[in-house]
Amino acid sequence: MIMAIIDRIRQTIATVAPDKVFVITDSNVAVVESRLIEALDPAYVAVVEAGEEHKGIAEVARIAGELSARGATRRSLIICIGGGMVTDLGGFVAAIFKRGIPHINVATTLLGGVDASVGGKTGVDLGGLKNELGAFHMPLEVFADTESFASLPPVEILSGFGEIIKTAFLAGDDMTRRILGLDPMEATPSMLEEICVFCRDEKMRVVEADPTEKGLRKVLNLGHTAGHAMETLMLERGTPAAHGVAVAHGLLVALILSNMECGLDSAWVSRYASWLRSYYPAIPFSCRDYADLWRIARHDKKNAGTADVLNFVLLASPGHPVTDVAIDRSRFESALDIYQELQGR
């Protein structure tokens, strides 16, 4: 697998003919993927400390300064090797350096392979808010090193499956049933490779129709309004939750609201709640935290507008998303109450 990725990247490099190649990665991946990095013979390797807390504007400025000092031009190429943090941050550097230079993403996590590296959304966090600064900048190519998935800790597999089940609900009931029938930790490498291809194809079908999220692309935010709020709350408390784990929990809130607002069959809510309880760690919060979750969600880019509602993506049924559903604070908190009951808390 790794030699195939190296060969395909080299083919892309030969086609693009950059004056210099630069790599952006993190401190963990730099060790694990040293063979890949060395094979690319980069002019410079920018290494970011691993962890979401390092996905900020200070790192962007540092890396951009290094690129400038080493003679990067608009004809240079950036290769981002890592998980979602690296492809988000590295893609943002590529988007703004010299007003945009080409880049390639090589995903080394399941989350990156199924979602984060695909679609051209880039960004960094600001003031504890997820991806508060960002740009649309489509990578030339996206590769997934599925061999590296075998070394991932369980929480990273679960994080990837948070985006996988979201994509399944958007695709339709057949794929949703298939994923809900899986134990994420028992998925084989060949199964994960097949799922990666499915998720990337589904996402690109939406992205190609709406590259800058004017309409259809909003459906990809299913589960993210409440999920991002939970993720940010945990980050504020110094007990970070993996992105896809938070999305998996946020998806349950979205399904509850879908039942309340759009008539989604309650059987889907119950089945998903059971799957979530069976495999995922809890996101610890109580009714005393509802005000903070509301406050955080109000800062989300998707919720520009009046201060008294949140805009949710919901489902009428699997495969039939509904965008821009306005949810007031009372309905939001009612959904959180039901979420707590379904999670046995």
Q: Which residues are known catalytic residues?
A: 99, 121, 163, 203, 213, 217, 221, 224, 228, 243
Neighbouring C-alpha atoms within 13 Å toward the C-beta of 63:
30
H helices, E strands: number in the chain? 14, 9
The dihedral through the CA atoms of 69, 74, 79, 80 has a sign that is positive
Sequence-ordered list of residues with C-beta below 8 angstroms from that of 327, at least 6 positions apart, any chain: 257, 261, 309, 310, 311, 312, 335
Pairing state between β 121-126 and 129-136 = antiparallel
In whole angstroms, what is the distance from residue 14 CA to residue 273 CA? 49
Contacts of 25 (CB under 8 A, 6+ apart): 33, 37, 45, 46, 47, 48, 80, 81, 82, 86
How are beta strands 121-126 and 77-82 bridged, if at all? unpaired
Helix 266-279 to helix 154-171 angle (10° resolution) is: 170
Give me the helix-helix angle, 329-342 and 266-279, nearest 10°: 60
